[in-house]
Structures are given as structure tokens and as C-alpha cells.
């Protein structure tokens, strides 16, 4: 039994914070080599965090969900997505909100969006010119932003759509490097002195986004055109057990949450997939053969069921977790995890990266090897790209469908190549990790 935190890193807390911001992967690798499956870090000004990476510990956390607060642990994201966000609430309120939000993101509803995802991809890929290099991550961000705007917000044209698109990109790009991300972790940088400070510029853009979203909600309501099939219309029509709808503030915060959680994450993972597929010519060949086997104009849902394409997406999500760790879980009472007795108010974080690079689960983990997912099935605590338990990613089904359809659409119609033959590092981008430089590619020919 331990009342103290296990394996505490001894360097000064401010130093640990700087390292965590600048290089969260190098930081975790270093201390897992030193301490093994569990260690504790202290981030100056933010508090202590226990990092865990053993599958059994992760299973114990997921199976005792109700004993943790998660929303409270996500406070750092509040200035970006608002306090009503699903990510920031706990308990009964979280359960209610998830129930209201889940249906549009799953099952039949999702299938209806497949066609639209392929069209969006075709439209953006058709702008690539033979021989002209482009940054894949930026191109994929255009695709995933368009998917969120059209499918979630229900916007395809008009003045509001034209304004929101560049505004949202500029807003999210404000944390596109480790240095620029530091304002999310260092409260003293969160000063709103108008356009003089980065924080002030970010808040201004955010206020404008909120105004545009409010106008969109009001227009949908007055025109009484709730049922256009987009996710916002479904969110507005949803009612809880007491017949209550979501308030406008809840709707706006959830829209920003979905945008914030769903658009960069999918774009980044797609960029890594393109990178690995074109680093490994055998993977590209197998994928093309599998896609060709479907013949001309396959149904999107046939594509989504292809086993090798699925394995390529799974392996990409294994090697390149978008979040270095899952959401923090704060103990509500004393609890035993991994043989350690933790006091109330201890923050536990499962490391996606360390789990996904365990030799005992993923032999030769540095190698991109989709076949590992064809020969073995991993349990929900051995493979966690979308987290787990009651906080499992709301958009996991949409994200995987989008990944497969985008890859299939591009690989069936274009031949691409990497501009440089070099290995690309993970770099912090806000709360996420992205490929340094964004992966430069070039179109060689149309297929
Ligand atoms: C490849 C793409 C994506 C990845 C890798 C990813 C990953 C994650 C992870 C790791 C979590 C934390 C889960 C936990 O701590 O247990 C999460 C939560 C969440 N994700 Fe995703 N995500 C992706 C795409 C999306 C999309 C497309 C959406 C929405 C359309 C979305 C919406 C959310 C939301 C709302 C939460 C918070 C859930 C809650 O607190 O109940 N994500 N995601």
C-alpha cells in the first residue's frame, strides 16, 4: 500500500512542464525506461500526474469509470471550448449530454454521410497539380474541416459558411507549434490585451465564431428546418428523459468541442497514413490491389469493410497517437489501481503512446506493420487510440469511416509520392501531436 505517488521524477516541476510541452514523447520514453509501467510527474503550476502504461492498469481504470472525474481534469481546454463542453462535465450531466449527442455519430445516420465524404475528398484532391508539391496535413485539414462544416454544422454555402471557414482555420492554427501551444499550459500567457497578445487575438476570433454559430442556430430554429439531416439539426431536435432540449450555450460549446476534437485529429492521422503508405511500397501495392478488387464505383460502405485498409488505419492510429495521453482521470475517493492505493484527488493518465509501443503487445513497435491487426485481436485496454470507458471518443466511428473513405478515394484516383525520403518526427500542436512539417507530397499522375 502506498499513500505517496509512485516513482516521482525528481527534476524541478517547471523543468518537467517545459519538457512536457516541448517533447511529450521523449519525456515519456525517458521516464518509462527509468521507472517502467508507472511513474509520476509534477508539472509546474498544473499539479502532479501519474502516468500508467500497463494494459491491466488501463483495464482497471476503464472498468471503474464512475470513480473518477474527467471533466475537472480537462480544465485546460475550457478557454477554447467553453464550460458546457462534453469534455468538461462529469457525472449525470455528462451521461445526459452523451446520450443526446451519440445517435447522430453512429449506425445508419453515419452511413448517410459516406457519399458526402467521398465528394468532399474528390473536390479537394482535384485541385492538386501534377509535379507541384503540397503539404498533406494541410490538405487533409481542408477535407476534415469541410466534413465538420457540412455534416455537423450543416453548412455548404452562403455568407456564414464563407466567413466561418477561414476563421476556424485561423483560430485552430494559433497553437500550431510547441512554442505557440505553450499559452494553453501557462496561465500567465492568457492575457487578453486585444490584438496585442496572441491570447487576445484568439479570444476575439472565438467570440466571432460564437456569434456566427448563434446566428446559424437561430436561423435553423426560425426557419423551422430542424430536419435537414445534419448533426446540428439532430442535436437541436434531441430531447432528454425529461423532454428537455440542449440550450443554445450547450449547442455552441458542443459544436466547438466537435470541431476542436474532430477536425485536427482526423487530419493528422490521415497525414501519417499517407506518409507510411508511401514509405512502404508493399503496403501501397496491397492497398491498391484490395481497392481494385471492388471494381468500378464501389459503394462507400463496401470500402469501409475492406480488411487490409482497416488494418492500415488501425496501425496508423497505433503508431501515431494524436493525444500523447488519455484525458486525466481524477480519483473521487481512495482507490486501488495496479496494486497502488491512491488518495482522493490524484490525477491518473493512461499513456496511449507507451501502451502502443510495448514490445510484449506489438513486437518491433517502430515498424509499420498493418498485418499485426490481421493476425491478432487486441482488447480495449491493449489498443486505445480513442480512449475507453464512458469517455471513449464520441467521433470514433466517424473518424474511422472518414479515414478509410479519404484514403480509398485518393489512392484509387491519384498516384502520389513523398517529396523527401526522410523520417518525420511527432511535434506538439496544441494538445495534440502532429507530423513535423506536415508531410510534403507530390502528385505524379492521375490513375
Ligand atoms: C483520428 C481521429 C480521432 C482520434 C485519434 C480521437 C481520439 C480521442 C481520444 C483519445 C479521446 C479521449 C478519450 C479518453 O480519455 O478515454 C477523445 C475524446 C473525444 N473525441 Fe475524439 N478522436 C478523433 C476524432 C474525433 C471526431 C471526428 C470527433 C467528433 C466528431 C471527436 C470527438 C470527441 C469528443 C467529443 C471527445 C470527448 C468525449 C467525452 O468526454 O465524453 N473525436 N478522442
**pLDDT tens per residue across span 76-118:** 778 778 889 999 999 999 999 999 998 888 888 788 899 999 9
326 Cβ inside 6 Å of ligand 1: yes
CB atoms within 10 A of CB 143: 23
Cα separation, 262 vs 260, whole angstroms: 6
- pLDDT of 226 > 60? The answer is no
Cα separation, 368 vs 280, whole angstroms: 8
pLDDT 10s digits, 139-161: 999 999 999 999 988 888 888 88
Label each residue of 55-109 as H, E or C: HHHHHHHHCCHHHEECHHHHHHHHHHHCCCCHHHCCHHHHHHHHHHHCHHHCHHH
87 Cβ inside 6 Å of ligand 1: yes
Residue 188 lies in a domain: yes
* Per-residue cell: 393: 471518443
* Window from 204-213, 276-285, 338-347, 369-378 with minimum mean pLDDT: 204-213
Q: Of 138, 164, 105, nearest to 392 (Cα)?
A: 105
How open is the CA angle 94-106-81, to the nearest 5 degrees? 40
Q: Of 344, 172, 180, nearest to 265 (Cα)?
A: 172
Question: What pLDDT shows up at residue 184?
Answer: 65
* Per-residue cell: 126: 482535384
Name the pairing type of β-strands 47-52 and 347-350.
Answer: parallel
Question: Where does the pLDDT of residue 74 fall: very low under 50, low under 70, confident under 90, or very high at 90 and above?
Answer: confident
Quote the number of domains for the chain.
1
- pLDDT of 3 > 60? The answer is no
Cα separation, 221 vs 216, whole angstroms: 9
Residue 2 lies in a domain: no
Residue, of 302 and 206, whose pLDDT is higher: 302
Cβ(141)–Cβ(267) below 8 Å: yes
Residue with CA at minimum distance from ligand 1 atom 39: 391
pLDDT 10s digits, 407-442: 999 999 999 999 998 889 888 887 788 898 899 999
Residue 374 lies in a domain: yes
Cα separation, 298 vs 40, whole angstroms: 50
For ligand 1, pick from 153, 321, 393, 403 the residue to mutate: most ligand atoms within 8 Å of CB.
Answer: 393
Residue, of 428 and 15, whose pLDDT is higher: 15
Residue, of 199 and 15, whose pLDDT is higher: 15
Residue 350: burial class (beta carbons within 10 Å; 0-12, 13-18, 19+) = buried
Sequence length of the chain is: 447
For ligand 1, pick from 52, 77, 81, 386 the residue to mutate: most ligand atoms within 8 Å of CB.
Answer: 386
Helix intervals (H) in 320-395: 352-356, 372-375
316 Cβ inside 6 Å of ligand 1: no
End-to-end CA distance of the chain: 63
Cα separation, 429 vs 438, whole angstroms: 11
**Gyration radius of the chain's alpha carbons:** 22
- Beta-carbon contacts of 338 under 8 Å, excluding residues fewer than 6 positions away, are 37, 38, 52, 54, 56, 57, 60
* Distance of CA 75 from the midpoint of ligand 1 (Å): 16
Question: What pLDDT shows up at residue 296?
Answer: 87
Q: Of 107, 119, 60, nearest to 337 (Cα)?
A: 60
Cα separation, 170 vs 177, whole angstroms: 14
Question: Where does the pLDDT of residue 185 fall: very low under 50, low under 70, confident under 90, or very high at 90 and above?
Answer: low
Residue with cell 450555450: 249
- pLDDT of 52 > 90? The answer is yes
Residue 136 lies in a domain: yes
- pLDDT of 225 > 50? The answer is yes
pLDDT 10s digits, 233-280: 888 988 988 999 999 999 999 998 998 888 889 999 999 999 999 999
Count, in order, helices (H) and strands (E) of the chain.
18, 12
- pLDDT of 292 > 70? The answer is yes
* Distance of CA 59 from the midpoint of ligand 1 (Å): 19
- pLDDT of 43 > 60? The answer is yes
* Distance of CA 88 from the midpoint of ligand 1 (Å): 13
Residue 6 lies in a domain: no
Q: What is the 8-class DSSP label of residue 332? A: S
The two most distant CA atoms of the chain are separated, in Å, by 64
Question: Where does the pLDDT of residue 4 fall: very low under 50, low under 70, confident under 90, or very high at 90 and above?
Answer: confident
322 Cβ inside 6 Å of ligand 1: yes
Residue 5 lies in a domain: no
* Window from 147-161, 285-299, 352-366 with minimum mean pLDDT: 147-161
CATH number at residue 162: 1.10.630.10
Residue with CA at minimum distance from ligand 1 atom 9: 386
* Distance of CA 2 from the midpoint of ligand 1 (Å): 33
Q: Of 24, 74, 47, 354, nearest to 178 (Cα)?
A: 24
- Beta-carbon contacts of 20 under 8 Å, excluding residues fewer than 6 positions away, are 27, 41, 43, 185
269 Cβ inside 6 Å of ligand 1: yes
Residue with CA at minimum distance from ligand 1 atom 37: 87
Residue 3 lies in a domain: no
Cα separation, 408 vs 294, whole angstroms: 11
Strands in 134-135's sheet, in edge-to-edge order, are 134-135, 440-446, 414-418
* Distance of CA 387 from the midpoint of ligand 1 (Å): 8
Residue with CA at minimum distance from ligand 1 atom 20: 393
352 Cα nearest atom in ligand 1 = 10
Question: What pLDDT shows up at residue 429?
Answer: 80
Residue 21 lies in a domain: yes
φ and ψ of 242, to 5 deg = -95, 10
Cα separation, 238 vs 249, whole angstroms: 15
Q: Of 148, 136, 152, 194, nearest to 172 (Cα)?
A: 148
CA atoms in the 13 A half-sphere facing the CB of 109: 20
- pLDDT of 2 > 70? The answer is no
* Per-residue cell: 427: 511535434
* Distance of CA 429 from the midpoint of ligand 1 (Å): 16
* Distance of CA 141 from the midpoint of ligand 1 (Å): 16
384 Cα nearest atom in ligand 1 = 10
How large is the average pLDDT for residues 17-21? 91
Cα separation, 356 vs 227, whole angstroms: 41
Cβ(271)–Cβ(439) below 8 Å: yes
Domain span at residue 383 reads: 13-446
Residue, of 110 and 389, whose pLDDT is higher: 389
86 Cβ inside 6 Å of ligand 1: yes
Helix intervals (H) in 345-388: 352-356, 372-375
Amino acid at each position: 500500500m502506498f499513500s505517496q505517488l509512485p516513482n516521482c521524477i525528481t527534476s524541478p516541476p517547471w523543468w518537467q512542464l517545459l519538457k512536457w510541452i516541448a517533447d511529450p514523447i521523449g519525456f515519456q520514453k525517458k521516464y518509462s525506461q527509468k521507472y517502467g509501467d508507472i511513474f509520476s510527474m509534477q508539472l509546474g503550476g498544473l499539479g502532479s500526474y501519474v502516468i500508467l502504461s500497463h494494459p491491466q492498469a488501463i483495464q482497471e481504470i476503464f472498468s471503474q469509470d464512475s470513480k473518477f472525474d474527467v471533466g475537472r481534469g480537462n480544465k485546460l481546454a475550457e478557454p477554447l471550448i467553453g464550460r458546457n463542453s462534453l469534455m468538461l462535465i462529469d457525472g449525470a450531466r455528462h451521461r445526459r449530454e452523451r446520450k443526446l449527442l451519440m445517435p447522430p455519430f453512429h449506425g445508419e445516420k453515419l452511413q448517410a454521410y459516406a457519399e458526402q465524404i467521398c465528394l468532399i475528398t474528390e473536390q479537394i484532391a482535384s485541385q492538386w497539380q501534377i509535379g507541384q508539391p503540397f503539404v498533406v496535413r494541410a490538405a487533409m485539414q481542408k477535407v476534415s474541416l469541410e466534413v465538420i462544416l457540412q455534416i455537423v454544422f450543416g453548412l455548404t454555402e452562403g455568407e456564414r459558411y464563407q466567413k466561418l471557414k477561414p476563421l476556424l482555420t485561423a483560430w485552430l492554427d494559433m497553437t500550431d507549434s510547441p512554442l505557440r501551444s505553450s499559452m494553453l499550459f501557462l496561465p500567465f500567457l492568457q492575457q487578453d490585451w486585444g490584438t496585442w497578445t496572441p491570447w487576445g487575438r484568439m479570444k476575439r476570433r472565438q467570440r466571432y465564431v460564437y456569434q456566427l454559430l448563434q446566428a446559424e442556430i437561430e436561423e435553423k430554429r426560425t426557419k423551422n428546418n430542424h430536419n435537414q439531416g445534419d448533426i446540428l439539426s439532430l442535436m437541436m431536435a434531441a430531447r432528454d428523459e425529461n423532454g428537455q432540449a440542449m440550450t443554445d450555450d450547450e449547442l455552441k460549446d458542443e459544436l466547438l468541442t466537435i470541431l476542436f476534437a474532430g477536425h485536427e485529429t482526423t487530419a493528422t492521422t490521415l497525414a501519417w497514413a499517407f506518409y507510411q503508405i508511401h514509405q512502404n511500397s508493399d503496403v501501397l501495392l496491397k492497398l491498391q490491389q484490395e481497392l481494385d478488387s471492388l471494381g468500378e464505383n464501389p459503394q462507400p460502405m463496401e470500402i469501409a469493410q475492406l480488411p487490409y485498409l482497416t488494418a492500415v488505419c488501425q496501425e496508423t492510429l497505433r503508431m501515431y497517437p494524436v493525444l500523447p495521453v488519455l484525458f486525466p482521470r481524477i480519483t473521487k475517493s481512495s482507490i486501488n489501481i495496479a496494486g497502488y492505493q491512491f488518495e482522493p484527488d490524484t490525477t491518473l493518465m493512461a499513456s496511449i503512446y507507451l501502451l502502443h509501443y510495448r514490445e510484449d503487445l506489438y513486437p518491433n513497435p517502430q515498424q509499420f506493420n498493418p498485418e499485426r491487426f490481421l493476425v491478432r485481436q487486441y482488447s480495449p485496454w491493449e489498443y486505445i487510440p480513442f480512449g475507453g470507458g464512458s469517455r471513449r471518443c464520441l467521433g470514433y466511428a466517424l473518424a474511422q469511416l472518414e479515414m478509410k473513405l479519404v484514403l480509398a478515394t485518393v489512392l484509387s484516383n491519384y498516384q502520389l509520392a513523398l517529396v523527401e525520403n526522410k523520417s518525420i518526427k511527432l511535434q506538439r500542436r496544441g494538445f495534440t501531436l502532429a507530423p513535423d512539417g506536415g508531410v510534403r507530397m507530390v502528385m505524379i499522375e492521375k490513375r
